[in-house]
Chains A and B, each alone.
Chain A
Amino acid sequence: MNWWDDVMHRAVAEVILAGALTGLIGVQVVVRRLSFFTLALTHATFPGVVAASIIGVNLLLGGVVTGAVVALGVAALTRRRGQDAAAATGVLVSGGFALGAALVATQSGFSRDLSSFLVGSILTVSAGDLVSTAGVLAVVAIVLLVCARPLLYAGFDPVGARAAGIAAGGWDVVLLLTIQLVVVAVVPAVGTILALSLIVAPAAAARLWSDRLPVMTALAVLFAVGSGLAGLFASSRWNLAAGASISLAATAVLAMSWGLQRLTATVSAARAVPA
């Protein structure tokens, strides 16, 4: 029997790939304060993958196309002066979710798949899913590596970057599309709605431990992969929903990091006071 034929083996491989992906992009999301925007993307992706599944086209393609439309729409809104991007994003969150739910309702006998779009179904991951997640991981890693300088400059000082001849707006779009690609790629593992926790929580935890981007990125990948494996283990051990367990594990990593930081700060403050 082939190693890949085992459901659990495929699930472990998918969780590692998805963790690496979300850790890599999560750092960009956190340092650029794009968490809320990413939340909107995950919700906008939901109708996209549902529609793709109804029409019978590739889910990755369907999700990327609808998410890209939303990403570009929000990017255009934020570039206009006086527009409230947060309000627009907020409307997209509920609108996207409503559209997905409405699309699901048009299909009879579709309810089982609904939850797999929303919270993932890691135990039904196919070899094809693994290949596409690995492909997306390669693309995202290359984009983040090759474009590290313009992304850093545009993220830190957009006006300064434009003055230096770097098209900051264009780089924002590159980043938004890359985030969108990741959201869609991790749908089989954790679904559209739970993708946010695996993207934001490990990176936010890593941010607590380091001021340096390479260190943060390594930690975020480590935390995300660790959360994925821990969640998967918990789900098989205690028969819990896998997507939810992974999400909760990521949340726990963030909570523990925060707690440990507070603890060390309190201890060192207590030490600084002469007895």
Chain B
Amino acid sequence: MFPKPIEKSSVLVQTSYRAAVPILLIIWLLPIIAVAMTSVRGAADLNSGNYWGLPTEWQILENYTAVFKNTPIVRYILNSFLVTIPTVIGALTLSCLAGFALVVYRFKLNLLVFFMFVGGNFVPFQILMVPVRNLSLSLGLYDTVTGLVLFHIAFQTGFCTFFMRNFVRDLPRELVEAARVEGASEFLIFWKVVLPLVRPALAALSVLIFTFIWNDYFWATVLIQGEHAMPVTGGLKSLNGQWVSQWQLVSAGSIVAAMPPVIVFFLMQKQFIAGLTMGATKG
């Protein structure tokens, strides 16, 4: 283990290490703690310039009720779910099929197709922006949840296929061969042999894609204009514009908006990190 395990150091070092971790953690999380604190402040605190100290009055209920009552945040959150969940399902479905094909079959263009997905995944969004916006306009999908979902599915399929393909590659090949010898059709092999084995990859990908899409801001601003379809990231930006000096309300909105991916992260931490760090240990 590196660095040297702290248990082998003197008591003094150990104690100071144990004290340093939480202190550094608080400093590190200060920006997030600040939002949380501001979201429960009263307006008086902000008027008197108490932005960073302890709140003098706690207005948890007032602020959060105000956010829910006076702003379309419920609509925004709902839109975010309507965008995120179909995207996860769509991208996972397409990439399972594609990842399977790229591993199990050897055909001429195999590596080329694979590289298309990997390379496309890294292009700057801006090179796609104008054509994708035009395409959505001409399909009548501009400013709709469906239009945004279709783009997200397509783009995320690149990364997901990369991920699925590498995961399937590491499964034992004999399983597929054995099934074939027993006369199983290719579709049956996919459905009954491979699909049950890629569940861990599906779990990792779904939490990752959920978080990525939930936090997407660029495409929300490019493809959506109105409140009726705006996800919460774009919604927060417009709330911030409307309530320039009411930090406590914008903070409460931010906390609400940040909740779903935070909950998903804490519930499925292991899968999330496994997905994010794929490839960090070998290669």
To the question of whether A and B form a pair in one complex, the answer is no
- Chain B interface residues toward A at CB < 8 A: none
